[in-house]
Amino acid sequence: MKITPEQKITGSLHAGLVASMSRKGMPYDNAVMESFFSSLKQELIHHERFEDRDAARAAIFEYIESFYNRQRLHSSLGYRSPEAFERMAEVTN
């Protein structure tokens, strides 16, 4: 069974979710999240096959909490990991 875009919107509204879209012609409105989702897909999703939704949810949680937020080098932090950047900030303050 294929879900139509209309069914996705209706289901989302019933779940209490609110659609959030960039303004027309403004691709940078949501640049941070677009970058995050690109990294998530390239570094995890495209390399895995999940048995079910719970397995996918657990893998994504692990990626975010153990790797992305702690170890992954971020260009916005001078190619440091968030943990290294925080340690550096603590020393300089």
More confident: 13 or 74: 74
Q: Is residue 68 in a domain? A: yes
Q: Is residue 71 in a domain? A: yes
Stated pTM of the model: 0.63
Q: Is residue 44 in a domain? A: no
Q: What is the pLDDT of residues 11-66, one digit of tens each?
A: 666 667 666 667 777 777 888 888 899 999 999 999 999 999 999 999 999 999 99
Q: Is residue 86 in a domain? A: yes
Q: Is residue 64 in a domain? A: yes
Q: What is the pLDDT of residue 8?
A: 63
Q: Is residue 29 in a domain? A: no
CA 85 to CA 65: how far, in whole Å?
16
Q: Is residue 93 in a domain? A: yes
Coil vs helix vs strand at 81: coil
Overall domain count for the chain: 1
Q: Judge contact between 63 and 44, C-beta under 8 A.
A: yes
Specify the amino acid at residue 3: I
Q: What is the pLDDT of residue 1?
A: 56
- Domain limits for position 86: 50-93
- What φ, ψ does residue 80 adopt, rounded to 5°? -115, 160
The pair of structure tokens assigned to 58 is 């657990």
